[in-house]
Amino acid sequence: MNLDTLVQQWPNGLHDAFLERLSIDYLNRTATLGLNIWIGDMSAERGPERERYQRADILISDLLWCVVEPPNEPSTRRRTEGLWIDAGSVAGLKSMPTLPPKPDSAFCWWFFVRDWNSFIYIAGGDAATLD
C-alpha cells in the first residue's frame, strides 16, 4: 500500500499531526514514523471531540531515501506532543523540490515541520501501520 492510500483511514489525513519520532533502519531499508494523529471532528465545538488524537506508527518499507532539511527557524519552544507537522504527496506540490530520483512505482511524501519551517521528504515502496 502506498502512503496516499494509508492515510485515508484518518479523517484529517496527517494534517496537524505530531511527529514524535523518526527511526531509519538502513540495513533493512525501512523508516518508522511515530505519530500522534489528529482524528478530531473539525466541525465540532472546541473541546474533546474536536481535539482528539490517536497514536500510530507508520512503517515505510523499501525505503529509497529520507531527506531532512535543517531547521530554518530554530525553535526554543518544546512541545510535549512532538513536532507539529502537515504532510502530503510531493506530486501535489506547486513547486517541486530538488530530490533524488525514484522509480514511478514508489511514493514520495513531504512532511512540513512547522516548528522548524522546513521539510522532511521520504520515498519508499510500501507503507503500513504497525499494531
Count up the domains in the chain and report the number. 1
Reference 111, options 37, 14, 44; nearest CA is 14
Q: Which one-letter amino acid corresponds to residue 57?
A: D
Q: How far is CA 76 from the centre of its chain?
A: 22
pLDDT digits (tens, 9 = 90+) for 47-68: 777 888 999 999 999 999 999 9
What range does the domain containing 38 cover? 3-130
Give pLDDT, residue 75. Answer: 64
Please report, for the chain, how many H helices and E strands are present, in that order: 1, 8
Q: What is the pTM of this model?
A: 0.90
Determine the average pLDDT of the residues in 33-39. Answer: 96
